[in-house]
Structure 1
């Protein structure tokens, strides 16, 4: 079905088992042959979803930064006539064929070369380069392809095919999310940017201690590193999210800036150890040392023997496993010895451009650095959040790391960013979510523009949930539903992604809402719809039974429409409806402005539906059903609160607490203590 037209510099090309395309490449920069290309003859399709940086609707769509990409990968629905105009840097492509099945196409990054998609006069092309100045002859896997009647299965299959070919990365199912990321956190960046200090951090910790919220970890973001030169605070990024003067900002030493942190990390870590709330702490680092690399004149001592000059004023690790390992192991070990449990690593995709022009093979150098960092974190720390890592080179090196930012930065009181952030966070998880849990970034619960929508969206992200409000600004009514009283986040079984009807729709221009779904325990699900239009207009949303089935597909399970139907609980309006399997129309909603609809879908089994612990965004996740029959239901809840059950009966009894009718067929039981086990009977 797939025909590969020969492009330039192809000595041989062949299709391998598992849908992998392998070729012998010849790259000769001195002969102006620094990029290899192959024209792709695609099967007939009706719709496509193309993932590349700085596309239409980006914060700055005029930018063309590849292979930087930063956090700016955007899923863009396109038609067959658009293929010629697609931007370079395509990292993933999903096609809906005229036959009705789906094809997933994944460019592969190997040890020596990275590949990407791009539009050409001939259609769609696969391109490859090492971004180096030396000649290269190599046999390498270039592309993975998979076809399935289910779009989510096609995505899973194409990553599975790549995984069989490469050991440089692991799938999400092969990893465990670190305990720290299962609890509520707080970060300095969005509130304070890089204008932080020892006194400010200590004051913030004290304020968190006073808050009636179970915040369990803090992340100290940019603004603490020892850097060369004097700089004002970071205020502008030109839409790419790196500072405008990034090239001038360079790391000078591993110790924190003693002008801002005169006692290093000692006082801050002592305060955290004394805290009755905060259990973990994290620290922000820059993958390249700092935004512009490592200063040639620095305080790194013997580490310098493992660095190479990429310019007169800049260094980076030498391109060997030993040298990169020496640099990252020393740096990461110091963070662990300073008391930190995890790190956030920024600016990862900038590594290749920094080496470009000075390295014989910039891709090999970046791969070595990634593997050295992964090894160091696995050895010394509990976990890592990757950031500015929207490059397939980063994705193909996520061997141990579990979390990656899946969108550009959130910004308080910025409506356009809020819309963009929601679309890209959920949309990117379709392809990124096979290897990592997505980081939807921090948010302000006090944000009057998007705080409530953001809170509910973080609940279904499947990744870390953390705040950035200043002292006294937290909105507990929006934060408490995210977690248990212990601070543990109620998480879905898999990250939320677009439902089938939203996959190939442009949510900024369409008349339909952008809808996502995630699976929950006991075959429950959560479905959300968003009005992301710009300019703003009213949109419609329809919950369909096929959306419910899609939730099961995300965890490779076949969830058929429940014979007794679904109970649909609207978390915002606190109302419910019953949706039957035979209902062809589904449930319709409208959203007039930027807003969300947030629905819990609970299947009816033996006449019972467990909605869950009331006033928790993911209410079913707090409950565990032990057994049930037509006459009884036995379950337990992890926290105290009000348990909400649906049962079509005249009365329901419970020995462990009073049962109160709160609506048509809705019953509420007050649970006085955590881990309560209750039995309901007719």
Structure 2
């Protein structure tokens, strides 16, 4: 069913229709400057082929036009504005609008400065601040995604007030570029994905999509990170003990991250490139050599996007030695220079040291703090792009390219995700919190609803987990389905081979899906925890499908898996479904759905194989999702259904 997008414009504002159904009504600009607010008037509308240009005028405005590039399923909005007085830092331009009738809404917004999270509020007055994606189901059942886009000199967000453009710095009098892309499709995930592809094709997205990036090899191997094992209370003896445990238990760890806690710092400010001498008196190089003498692993280390959480210690030898490559902000914080060439030289010096210590990969953290750090000092989007470009240039030089061995972390805000030039892996959610018994529900929801948009740019890292934990199976199934890297953060003595083995082969190679796990159709616009219904995520590999089911509510939850719930599956086909924990097969087609009844905290892992000519090719049933493994056998489907 075609769902054309139509645009009308008059002095009351711009209105957008999806078919006959109103989507946006009376979208009109308000300009906020240091001299006060300006409400421009629409003076002229010009339409040439697939482009509409709207010209505005008002006192205090030197130039202002909007250009809308239109196609049957998309509208892409560009701004060209110059004012006489500087624009407000936040926001400089607001496009107010009313919304048509909707029956479902998802807004992706920063619930913390580092992370994004879904809101299901339907009423526009309840939409959250600084939204990065809005997906609505309108009164006609049509799905539309609104993607706000940053450019060099502004960020764009959606909130209850409208569409907001902000430079984040004083003295800016011009904004130029694409700020909004709208796309309609038959279902929400397709609407999001096609919106990204269309915006990239039109050069509105100015960094590569994931399909254009090179994925590092560690993504396909099982790993371990020190954070939840040690936090900052670490030393060489603890690392050695953990490596020996992996060897004794035959757990095939292939990479290790030395997380926060290894660096020499004071008051959250960096003192030097070397490891903390009190914790590692023999230095970083010795620690890594000891780790590699026990296990055949790649070793990575952690550092922050600004070197350490609060930058570099003033008066330190580090600051004195590299002062030419640093910037002191009005707050007093000292960070790598805002000049990308100077910042690169700082990172190159540090990364050269790390490489000499036999470091193989990096985790770069606290990226979302960059916006509040430089706010008011520099144009945020431009400064973030310069910072990402500088550090990734150094990573490529010292650790390998074009597939950078790098995990970006705490960096889901718009100014980060749309400004990384090369790297392909980004954390998809807030931390796994092993000591918070109620954290799993929020963790899986965040990962599930971030994945549809985030996976267009990056491999989604669903974070580390504990294999000895009340949520271990729920966490393991989530990572198995995620399509991203899988790594634990177990304490010494607490790695459970039984829960790890179904994720990978005996050499540590993961059975990874090529795409990210995402909500099924029927779950997308639903807060499953509040609705007390099972949360279902799907993935696909080749012709096989997989569905993970979790009860994240506080009571038992009933439901079903219907073939019509799963994107891209042949709804007219016949499939054989196998559930890992119950070891049972089910016929799965349009007439045979899978009935669900889950206890509180229960998880199910379903592999779904096509039946052709009465036969089915199944994968390794000893893994959480055999659908992601090579074919083990081909047998008549009836032999498994009747067995």
When normalised by structure 1's length, the TM-score is: 0.81
1:408-427 to structure 2, matched below 5 A, reads: 408-427=430-449
Q: Note the alpha carbon deviations across 1:481-536, whole angstroms, 9 max, x for none.
A: 00011110101131110000000001221032111100023x11110111112xx1
Are 2:180 and 1:143 aligned?
yes
Q: Note the alpha carbon deviations across 1:223-266, whole angstroms, 9 max, x for none.
A: 0122234xxxxxxxxxxxxxxxxxxx222222221221222222
Match of 2:80 among 15, 20, 24: 24
The Cα RMSD (Å) is 2.2
Classify the secondary structure of the residue corresponding to 1:214: coil
Who is 1:206 aligned against?
244
1:440-589 to structure 2, matched below 5 A, reads: 440-447=462-469, 449-521=470-542, 523-533=543-553, 536-548=554-566, 550=567, 552=568, 559-561=569-571, 563=573, 565-583=574-592, 586-589=593-596
Who is 1:373 aligned against?
391
Who is 1:8 aligned against?
31
Who is 1:670 aligned against?
none
**Contact in 1 for aligned 2:125/2:160 (Cα 8 Å):** yes
Q: Distance in 2 between matches of 1:326 and 1:478?
A: 44
Q: Distance in 1 between matches of 2:439 and 2:575?
A: 34
Who is 1:608 aligned against?
615
Deviation at 1:43, TM superposition (A): 4.8
Who is 1:251 aligned against?
270
Who is 1:640 aligned against?
none
Q: Distance in 2 between matches of 1:26 and 1:211?
A: 65
Q: Note the alpha carbon deviations across 1:166-224, whole angstroms, 9 max, x for none.
A: 56421111223211121111111012111112222222222222222111111110001
Are 2:114 and 1:70 aligned?
yes
1:156-555 to structure 2, matched below 5 A, reads: 156-164=193-201, 165-166=203-204, 168-229=206-267, 249-275=268-294, 277-300=295-318, 301-311=320-330, 313-357=332-376, 359-381=377-399, 382-447=404-469, 449-521=470-542, 523-533=543-553, 536-548=554-566, 550=567, 552=568
Q: Distance in 2 between matches of 1:609 and 1:310?
A: 63
Decide whether aligned partners of structure 1 residues 401 and 362 sit closer, same or farther in structure 2, where only a CA change above 3 A counts. same
Are 2:640 and 1:596 aligned?
no
Decide whether aligned partners of structure 1 residues 423 and 226 sit closer, same or farther in structure 2, where only a CA change above 3 A counts. same
Classify the secondary structure of the residue corresponding to 1:265: helix
Q: Distance in 2 between matches of 1:27 and 1:475?
A: 62
In structure 1, the gaps of 5 or more residues are 55-64, 230-248, 553-558, 625-636, 638-642, 650-662, 667-682
**Contact in 2 for aligned 1:481/1:615 (Cα 8 Å):** yes
Q: Distance in 1 between matches of 2:242 and 2:563?
A: 46
Classify the secondary structure of the residue corresponding to 2:193: helix
Classify the secondary structure of the residue corresponding to 2:106: strand
Q: Distance in 2 between matches of 1:29 and 1:203?
A: 63
Q: Note the alpha carbon deviations across 1:262-318, whole angstroms, 9 max, x for none.
A: 22222222223323x432111111001111122222333442102121146421233
Report which stretch shifted further, 500-509 or 148-157.
148-157
When normalised by structure 2's length, the TM-score is: 0.86
**Contact in 2 for aligned 1:169/1:395 (Cα 8 Å):** no
Deviation at 1:664, TM superposition (A): 4.3
Q: Distance in 2 between matches of 1:366 and 1:132?
A: 13
Deviation at 1:319, TM superposition (A): 2.3
Q: Note the alpha carbon deviations across 1:124-163, whole angstroms, 9 max, x for none.
A: x111212113233131221121111132221111111332
In structure 2, the gaps of 5 or more residues are 1-5, 8-14, 16-26, 33-39, 41-63
Decide whether aligned partners of structure 1 residues 327 and 43 sit closer, same or farther in structure 2, where only a CA change above 3 A counts. farther
Decide whether aligned partners of structure 1 residues 363 and 173 sit closer, same or farther in structure 2, where only a CA change above 3 A counts. closer
Q: Distance in 2 between matches of 1:618 and 1:324?
A: 44
Tell me the number of residue pairs that the alignment of Structure 1 and Structure 2 aligns. 580
Q: Note the alpha carbon deviations across 1:541-575, whole angstroms, 9 max, x for none.
A: 21111234x1x3xxxxxx42354x11111111111
Deviation at 1:84, TM superposition (A): 1.1
Deviation at 1:645, TM superposition (A): 4.8
Deviation at 1:622, TM superposition (A): 2.5
Classify the secondary structure of the residue corresponding to 1:15: strand
Decide whether aligned partners of structure 1 residues 228 and 580 sit closer, same or farther in structure 2, where only a CA change above 3 A counts. closer
Classify the secondary structure of the residue corresponding to 1:7: strand
Match of 1:93 among 110, 114, 134: 134
Q: Distance in 1 between matches of 2:321 and 2:445?
A: 46
Decide whether aligned partners of structure 1 residues 474 and 29 sit closer, same or farther in structure 2, where only a CA change above 3 A counts. farther
Match of 2:144 among 96, 103, 117: 103
Classify the secondary structure of the residue corresponding to 1:445: coil
Q: Distance in 2 between matches of 1:29 and 1:470?
A: 57
Decide whether aligned partners of structure 1 residues 574 and 360 sit closer, same or farther in structure 2, where only a CA change above 3 A counts. closer
Decide whether aligned partners of structure 1 residues 134 and 8 sit closer, same or farther in structure 2, where only a CA change above 3 A counts. closer
Q: Distance in 1 between matches of 2:146 and 2:75?
A: 10
Q: Distance in 2 between matches of 1:353 and 1:524?
A: 44
Deviation at 1:453, TM superposition (A): 0.9
Q: Distance in 2 between matches of 1:304 and 1:422?
A: 43
Who is 2:164 aligned against?
127
**Contact in 2 for aligned 1:515/1:527 (Cα 8 Å):** yes
**Contact in 2 for aligned 1:5/1:41 (Cα 8 Å):** no
Q: Distance in 2 between matches of 1:645 and 1:614?
A: 14
Deviation at 1:85, TM superposition (A): 2.2
Report which stretch shifted further, 396-405 or 449-458.
396-405
Q: Distance in 2 between matches of 1:578 and 1:28?
A: 68
